[in-house]
Structure 1
Amino acid sequence: MDIGTLAAALRAEARRTDQRRLLVLHGERDACIDAAFTAVEAADVADGETTILSTREGFRFERHRPKHAGRLLGTTREAVILDAFGEFSPNAVGRSVGAVDGGGLYVLLAPPLEEWLDRRGDFDESLAVPPFGLDDVSGRFRTRFVETLRTHPGVAVVAVGTDDGDGDATEDVVERDGLTGDDAATPAPGPTTPADAAFPAAAYESCLTRDQSRALSALERLRHPGPAGSAVVVEADRGRGKSSAAGLAAAALAAEGRDVLVTAPAFGGAAAWFERARDLLADLRDPLAVDEDRRIELATDAGGGRVRFRPPAAAVAEAGTVDVVVADEAAALPVRLLSGLLDAPATAFVTTVHGYEGAGRGFSVRFRGRLDDADRRVTDVRMDAPIRYARGDPVEAWAFRALLLDARPSVDAAVADATPDSVAYRVLDGDELLADEHLLSAAFGLLVAAHYRTEPDDLARLLDAPNLSVRALVHDGHVVSVAMLAREGGLDGTTREAMYDGERVRGNMLPDVLTSQLRDPDAAAPRGVRVVRIATHHAVRSRGLGSLLLDEVAAELGDDVDYLGTGFGATPELLDFWRDNGYRTVHLATTRNDASGEHSALMVRPTSDAGRAFAGRHARWFRERVGAVLSDALSDLDADVVRGALAACDAPGDPVVDVSAYEWRLTVAAAYGPGLADMAPRPFRRLALAHLLDGDADLSDRAERLLVRKVLQAREWEAVTEELDYVSTAECMRSLGRALQPLVDRYGDEAAFAERARYE
Structure 2
Amino acid sequence: MIADLAAALGDEARRANERRALVLTGEREDCYAGAREALDAAGISRTATTLVADENSDGLDCERITPKHADELLGRTRGAVVLDCHDECRPNVIGRTVGAVDGGGLLVLLVPPLDSWPDRRDGFDATLAVPPYEPASVAGNFRRRLVDTLRAHRGIAIANVDSGTVECDGLTDPPPREQRSEPAPPDEHGFPRAAYEVCLTPDQTAAVHAFESLREPGEVLVVEADRGRGKSSAAGLAAGALAADGKDVLVTAPAYRSAAPIFERARELLSTLGGLAGVDQDETPLCLDAVGGGEVRFAKPAVATEQAERADLLVVDEAAALPVDRLSEFLAAPAVAFVTTVHGYEGAGRGFSVRFRDRLDDSEFAVHEQRLDDPIRYAAGDPVEVWAFRALLLDARPPVVPLVEGATPETVDYARLNSEELLDDEHRLREAFGLLVAAHYRTEPNDLARLLDAPNVSVHALLSEDHVVSVALLAREGGLSEDLRREVYEGSRLKGHLLPDVLTSQLRDERAGVPTGQRVLRIATHPAARSRGLGSRLLDEIRATATTDWLGVGYGATPELVEFWRRNGFSTVYLATTRNERSGEHSALMLTPLSDAGRELRDRHARRFVERVGATLSGALAALDPDVVRAALGATHVTAEVDLSDHEWRVAASAAYGPGLAEIHPHVFRALALCHLTDADSDLSAREERLLVMRVLQTRPTEAVADALDYVSAGACMRALGDAYKPLVDRYGNRAAHDERNRYVDGGE
Q: Are 2:147 and 1:149 aligned?
A: no
Q: Are 2:392 and 1:403 aligned?
A: yes
Matching residue within 553, 568, 573 for 1:586: 573
CA distance in 1, matches of 2:587, 2:283: 30
CA offsets 1:493-520 (integer angstroms, 9 cap, x no match) = 1111111111111110100000000000
Q: Are 2:316 and 1:327 aligned?
A: yes
8 Å CA contact 2:267, 2:288 repeated in 1: no
8 Å CA contact 2:579, 2:586 repeated in 1: yes
8 Å CA contact 1:16, 1:183 repeated in 2: no
Partner of 2:642: 657
CA offsets 1:677-735 (integer angstroms, 9 cap, x no match) = 22221101000000000043511110000000000000011110111011111111110
CA distance in 1, matches of 2:663, 2:260: 49
Partner of 1:166: none
Partner of 2:211: 219
Matching residue within 685, 689, 702 for 2:670: 685
CA distance in 1, matches of 2:388, 2:560: 36
> Aligned runs of 1:550-569 on 2, under 5 Å?
550-557=539-546, 560-569=547-556
Partner of 2:417: 428
Q: Shift of residue 673 of structure 1?
A: 1.6
Matching residue within 177, 180, 191 for 2:172: 180
8 Å CA contact 2:32, 2:59 repeated in 1: no
Matching residue within 183, 190, 196 for 1:204: 196
**TM-score under structure 2 normalisation?**
0.98
8 Å CA contact 1:697, 1:742 repeated in 2: no
Matching residue within 708, 718, 721 for 1:733: 718
Report the residue type matching 1:426 in the other structure.
A
Q: Give the 3-state SS of the residue equivalent to 1:414 in structure 2.
A: helix
CA distance in 2, matches of 1:556, 1:211: 52
**Pair 1:678–1:188, CA change in 2 (3 A):** farther
> Aligned runs of 1:326-725 on 2, under 5 Å?
326-557=315-546, 560-651=547-638, 654-725=639-710
CA distance in 2, matches of 1:33, 1:295: 33
Report the residue type matching 2:287 in the other structure.
L
The answer to which of 265-274 and 207-216 deviates more is 265-274
CA distance in 2, matches of 1:85, 1:334: 35
**TM-score under structure 1 normalisation?**
0.96
Q: Shift of residue 756 of structure 1?
A: 1.4
Partner of 1:39: 38
CA offsets 1:278-306 (integer angstroms, 9 cap, x no match) = 11111111132222346343343444211
Q: Shift of residue 633 of structure 1?
A: 0.6
Partner of 1:127: 128
8 Å CA contact 2:239, 2:262 repeated in 1: no
CA distance in 2, matches of 1:521, 1:136: 27
CA distance in 1, matches of 2:157, 2:276: 50
CA distance in 2, matches of 1:411, 1:554: 29
Q: Give the 3-state SS of the residue equivalent to 2:725 in structure 1.
A: helix
CA distance in 2, matches of 1:359, 1:37: 36
Q: Are 2:729 and 1:744 aligned?
A: yes
8 Å CA contact 1:697, 1:743 repeated in 2: no
Report the residue type matching 1:191 in the other structure.
P
Gaps of 5+ in 2: none
CA distance in 1, matches of 2:419, 2:395: 20
The answer to which of 290-299 and 594-603 deviates more is 290-299
CA distance in 1, matches of 2:575, 2:116: 46
CA distance in 1, matches of 2:529, 2:444: 25
CA distance in 2, matches of 1:695, 1:143: 51
> Aligned runs of 1:258-297 on 2, under 5 Å?
258-293=247-282, 295-297=284-286
CA distance in 1, matches of 2:613, 2:561: 20
CA offsets 1:554-580 (integer angstroms, 9 cap, x no match) = 0111xx111111111111111111111
Report the residue type matching 1:39 in the other structure.
A
Q: Give the 3-state SS of the residue equivalent to 1:759 in structure 2.
A: coil
CA distance in 1, matches of 2:557, 2:370: 32
Aligned residues: 743
CA distance in 1, matches of 2:683, 2:493: 44
CA distance in 1, matches of 2:228, 2:284: 23
The answer to which of 659-668 and 108-117 deviates more is 659-668
Partner of 1:53: 52
Q: Shift of residue 57 of structure 1?
A: 4.6
CA distance in 2, matches of 1:293, 1:79: 28
The answer to which of 295-304 and 655-664 deviates more is 295-304
CA distance in 2, matches of 1:726, 1:298: 40
Q: Are 2:747 and 1:758 aligned?
A: no
Report the residue type matching 1:156 in the other structure.
A
**Pair 1:82–1:299, CA change in 2 (3 A):** closer
CA distance in 2, matches of 1:301, 1:441: 48
CA distance in 1, matches of 2:404, 2:290: 56
Q: Shift of residue 593 of structure 1?
A: 1.6
Q: Shift of residue 626 of structure 1?
A: 0.4
**Pair 1:208–1:465, CA change in 2 (3 A):** same
Partner of 1:76: 77
Partner of 1:67: 68
Partner of 2:228: 239
CA offsets 1:331-362 (integer angstroms, 9 cap, x no match) = 01001110000000100000000012110000
CA distance in 2, matches of 1:447, 1:441: 10
8 Å CA contact 1:297, 1:306 repeated in 2: no
The answer to which of 296-305 and 349-358 deviates more is 296-305
CA distance in 1, matches of 2:365, 2:43: 53
Q: Shift of residue 435 of structure 1?
A: 0.2
8 Å CA contact 1:278, 1:298 repeated in 2: no
8 Å CA contact 1:26, 1:109 repeated in 2: yes
Q: Shift of residue 59 of structure 1?
A: 3.1
Partner of 1:307: 296
Report the residue type matching 1:122 in the other structure.
G
8 Å CA contact 2:52, 2:84 repeated in 1: yes
Partner of 1:17: 16
Gaps of 5+ in 1: 162-169
Q: Give the 3-state SS of the residue equivalent to 2:287 in structure 1.
A: strand
Identical-residue share of aligned pairs (%): 61
Q: Give the 3-state SS of the residue equivalent to 1:114 in structure 2.
A: coil
Report the residue type matching 2:660 in the other structure.
G
CA distance in 1, matches of 2:699, 2:291: 43
Q: Give the 3-state SS of the residue equivalent to 1:244 in structure 2.
A: helix
Q: Give the 3-state SS of the residue equivalent to 2:119 in structure 1.
A: coil
CA distance in 2, matches of 1:41, 1:178: 18
Q: Shift of residue 87 of structure 1?
A: 3.5
